[in-house]
Structure 1
């Protein structure tokens, strides 16, 4: 596998664990679920007691195998509880704020008038060995990130050449003040989203290139590279994750106390020096690895799990779980949209010319029955929410049309768009261009007379609802004489072969693809995904207006820039929109804490230091 496809796969996993992955699951069974049965988030309740062990189900397939916060691409590493041991400058919030102020290491950045400087004041936090968290630690982390990228651009899944950390320098103005300087100013909100990915590491103890070695000046690139090699080398020995003193120096609420290399299960105990919110009443937190969603459900049914995510295929069991003493809460993952990716560079049967016409994409979106897919027992069985925007649902940066359908399901509207633009619609023999040309009532540039619309959709083999919705879409296309067929592929195969930005020679081998979800940071700009030449612009979408709006949302200062970008893209359809599956969070009723800490599990953000049991524990 080449480095770039591997990087794309790592991006999806990284976004999942930081806040960005599609649900792994099976086809839903049973009668459609009433979504109102799980939409209410229970209030905090009960009298806290000390002690108890919380057992959390890891999502099947997301088993950790690495401990250094920035694993090299070659390792395919998934980091153990990184957010609970090493906090970023800013922590993700699901409460409509740019970041969670209470659990972040720093105060809100102060941006200079010209946008070239961001001054960041650190809060009073300490490392588990009692040393203070300082601005030098921020500089150290940044310099090691740059060393990783210099080794290989694939070593940081969020890196795009020419963007952060390129053109950025970080200095320590004093012990508690870090100053970021930018050659090109960033939009402040976008900057905060980037700094949510900067997990701070201890400069006083980790700036060595050998065990027991002398402390090095990490601001020198050659030293930063040597330190990076040492730390990543240490992280490859899973048998020493608990015993290696390096990994016991943390600034988050927990330290690693046990790790099972064969399964990826691990345990955490409280960091007694942690000064963030929460009383850390829980004695220990066990993260348990699983190989399948059914295994997770069986453990919930047996009462062996305290909390975790329930696969939507078991939504019909919500009532049973409540009888067994569990709360269940569900909602769409924030900053997620499910899109059928369009390949604008596929020339087979003039697909590029056809799909380049906006009216064609509008007609196809009119053929996606989102409400029907949500209700369907074969697709979502009631456990999804309609979405029509690249910003996702309940976004702080909504499109101007809100959450309404820009192109609602309407077969007649789709047919009219085709006939109004020079096509003869024939559901039996296939729809044909009868008025070629570039006029308003003609088929469009490069589409010859007699042209039919035919193409292939590459569909991921997991989760199962992906294939089900693709087949449903194909059946709707046939109603207006469009001939499409679904070809099922593994996710790994699609990651390696279906992306024009990294596999351009395969552009004519796929016309559309459905790999699940786009899951983004808390600032859901489409930078890199839909700008011309973007590193993750899989289908070669290109629109000068989109480029301008993405540039403004990424580097401009207008707080409304992202909403303008989302509005334009959602109308122009660089992808076709499917419903967003709901995530289901389950936890025992005798476990409580701030409701926001359970809502944050929608994006794999855990805060057990703020939880407590309310009854007698074993």
Structure 2
């Protein structure tokens, strides 16, 4: 292998924060992350950790430019969004590191059984997957999977069912201990009664009941990663590899050891655990202070999608200003342009850069407080419909996002070409109309006021009355939290409040840090329960673990991040989407959630406005799950 002579990482330059480039997804917003399970002062702890990370990466020096000609194929680089850092290498994510910018890197080192997304396409990318298409039988209670024979580990051993078995052993231990981030009660591995192995390249899952193959393949099988049992089945670095994980207690010790090592950032480039990979890349350099990571093409890679580059690098930045400086100076080939700096578009275009909006298959939901002090109001379908009529998505897209986004009328956005989006979701069931909102209120017992909130004058549960629990004379006032410091989100929240005022609804805006919202939104009690609408402004993701967008995490019975929403009809449709075959069941639940306004559907901002050096090719079309896919890249010139 040719020596790439990649320079050591240098600290990133710090400056005052600005609008971040990509909207970060909210993988942490999971149903089982209830405030009851969080340590006291969770929001404050998160804030302190973030502050410590930012301070640790500040320095006066600027990143050095890497030559494109260090080796055949060249070395490209990309920037993560401001504040994001690749900081978890193990493809079994814990809660603190459950982010796409970690999993997208790790699945270049450790290939998942099923790779998701491609060049502008949603769904499973079978050509890049270790597993062939699963075969369902026995009334969809049995799933048989064959492994491709052309994948090997760096040590020359083939990727086989023994590596699949090792994954299931560790996953079961992680799910039981609450360490494994993707796990939700009732899901993998608890929905599998047993696994049988038919030699080295085939295994069969026996399920606890029939599941929809579309849902189970997309939202369960995508969790599986073959793991190098010959390197990892031990409990310390100097321990001999054995058959430790074959017992539940042993598997717990092994996953605890691997989690501990994955948290040791200072050893990423030297730890032998991370040297045995089956993916197209291997990690060769890492700076635990700046999070600068260096990868080279794996010379032992035998699978599909071999890299064209000799290597690539990842840079992290504490602000959008620092990222833009690195982009202008040529340190990174692939970066971002914040919407607040769109005036720089002509500069980059005239200096040989391409600018492309990165549309991702995420959605954006304003959570409603079904268990808090405003529950009597948001429980009313007519009021939710009125509120949805006041969300002016086309205006937000045009003026606050400058066209960089998608309309979103349900639990999946209008992503072109995706068969996971119901045809009905391409049309707004409640288009912006103050008049329509006013009509809904007056026809349900509210007296409008020109100077303040409407008041209930006809209490009761009849079709023309205010609804259960709403007393006569009650004001129509709702508190709304929204995340700072995004200027575009603040403008959307203000526009929404202004439209609501015109309709007779008083929206009390309450800007909060997103970390604070994590600790105060969700289900009440515990408190403080002083909100009725919570707008995070960052998308809920679909991808490696949740490919099929049923919104079950948000709106299934017992949910936390749906504000406690529960509707028996919706739950029945949701169960059918899980259990009965076909996409039609998915469409039914999407359509029902949309019409019921389970949450307020909100415009989805693009993940980023990508700014890409003219020498870099193969990056477009972009992956809808925010995966850079550097194996597709080439450098010219």
TM-score bin, normalised by smaller chain: 0.7 to 0.9
Structure 1 position 150 matched with structure 2 position 176: yes
State the match for 1:523 in structure 2.
548
State the match for 2:44 in structure 1.
none
1:427 Cα deviation (Å)? 2.7
Structure 1 position 366 matched with structure 2 position 389: yes
SS in 1 for 2:107: helix
Structure 1 position 470 matched with structure 2 position 493: yes
The equivalent position to 1:354 in structure 2, one of 377, 382, 388, is 377
State the match for 1:225 in structure 2.
252
User: Counterparts in 2 of 1:594-605, with a 5 A limit?
Assistant: 595-596=620-621, 599-600=622-623, 602-605=624-627
State the match for 1:126 in structure 2.
152
Distance 1:315 1:192 in 2: 40
State the match for 1:317 in structure 2.
344
1:490 Cα deviation (Å)? 1.5
Contact 1:343–1:507 (8 Å) recurs in 2 = no
Contact 2:619–2:628 (8 Å) recurs in 1 = no
**TM-score, structure 1 as length reference:** 0.86
1:147 Cα deviation (Å)? 0.9
Structure 1 position 298 matched with structure 2 position 320: no
The equivalent position to 2:267 in structure 1, one of 240, 246, 250, is 240
1:89 Cα deviation (Å)? 0.8
User: Counterparts in 2 of 1:89-238, with a 5 A limit?
Assistant: 89-94=113-118, 95-96=120-121, 98-123=123-148, 124-151=150-177, 153=178, 155-168=179-192, 169-193=194-218, 194-210=220-236, 211-238=238-265
Contact 2:477–2:505 (8 Å) recurs in 1 = yes
SS in 2 for 1:218: helix
State the match for 2:43 in structure 1.
none
Structure 1 position 69 matched with structure 2 position 123: no
Contact 1:315–1:383 (8 Å) recurs in 2 = no
Structure 1 position 506 matched with structure 2 position 527: yes
SS in 1 for 2:555: coil
User: Counterparts in 2 of 1:566-581, with a 5 A limit?
Assistant: 566-581=590-605
1:6 Cα deviation (Å)? 11
Structure 1: segments with no counterpart, 5+ residues: 10-48
1:7 Cα deviation (Å)? 8.7
Change in CA separation of 1:83 and 1:314 when aligned onto 2, cut-off 3 Å: farther
Contact 1:282–1:609 (8 Å) recurs in 2 = yes
User: Counterparts in 2 of 1:1-20, with a 5 A limit?
Assistant: 4=34
Structure 1 position 403 matched with structure 2 position 426: yes
Change in CA separation of 1:607 and 1:332 when aligned onto 2, cut-off 3 Å: closer
The equivalent position to 1:547 in structure 2, one of 556, 559, 571, is 571
The equivalent position to 1:258 in structure 2, one of 273, 277, 285, is 285
1:433 Cα deviation (Å)? 1.6
Contact 1:306–1:587 (8 Å) recurs in 2 = yes
Structure 2: segments with no counterpart, 5+ residues: 1-27, 40-70
Contact 1:332–1:580 (8 Å) recurs in 2 = no
Change in CA separation of 1:197 and 1:62 when aligned onto 2, cut-off 3 Å: farther
Bigger mean CA deviation after superposition, 479-488 or 69-78: 69-78
**TM-score, structure 2 as length reference:** 0.83
The equivalent position to 2:618 in structure 1, one of 590, 593, 608, is 593
Distance 1:64 1:493 in 2: 23
- Deviations along 1:175-234, one digit per CA (max 9) or x if unpaired, are 011212211233212222222232321112211223242411523212211211222232
1:247 Cα deviation (Å)? 0.5
Contact 1:7–1:73 (8 Å) recurs in 2 = no
Contact 1:135–1:176 (8 Å) recurs in 2 = yes
Distance 2:484 2:122 in 1: 36
SS in 1 for 2:324: helix
Structure 1 position 442 matched with structure 2 position 465: yes
Change in CA separation of 1:581 and 1:119 when aligned onto 2, cut-off 3 Å: same
State the match for 2:482 in structure 1.
459
State the match for 1:86 in structure 2.
110
Contact 1:427–1:482 (8 Å) recurs in 2 = no
Bigger mean CA deviation after superposition, 201-210 or 138-147: 201-210
1:279 Cα deviation (Å)? 4.2
Distance 1:8 1:120 in 2: 38
SS in 2 for 1:509: coil
Change in CA separation of 1:108 and 1:571 when aligned onto 2, cut-off 3 Å: same
Change in CA separation of 1:437 and 1:239 when aligned onto 2, cut-off 3 Å: closer
Change in CA separation of 1:219 and 1:315 when aligned onto 2, cut-off 3 Å: farther
Bigger mean CA deviation after superposition, 423-432 or 81-90: 423-432
1:73 Cα deviation (Å)? 3.7
1:447 Cα deviation (Å)? 2.0
User: Counterparts in 2 of 1:16-35, with a 5 A limit?
Assistant: none
1:119 Cα deviation (Å)? 0.7
1:142 Cα deviation (Å)? 1.6
1:476 Cα deviation (Å)? 1.0
SS in 1 for 2:223: coil
Bigger mean CA deviation after superposition, 65-74 or 568-577: 65-74
Contact 1:116–1:184 (8 Å) recurs in 2 = yes
1:594 Cα deviation (Å)? 6.7
1:466 Cα deviation (Å)? 2.3
Structure 1 position 607 matched with structure 2 position 629: yes
Contact 1:50–1:612 (8 Å) recurs in 2 = no
Contact 2:409–2:425 (8 Å) recurs in 1 = no
SS in 1 for 2:601: strand
- Aligned positions, number: 562
Distance 1:480 1:458 in 2: 20
Distance 1:237 1:359 in 2: 53
Distance 1:331 1:65 in 2: 23
Structure 1 position 496 matched with structure 2 position 504: no
Distance 1:611 1:278 in 2: 11
Distance 1:476 1:162 in 2: 42
State the match for 1:422 in structure 2.
445
Distance 2:196 2:244 in 1: 14
State the match for 1:58 in structure 2.
80
Contact 2:367–2:561 (8 Å) recurs in 1 = no
Distance 1:450 1:4 in 2: 35
1:75 Cα deviation (Å)? 7.4
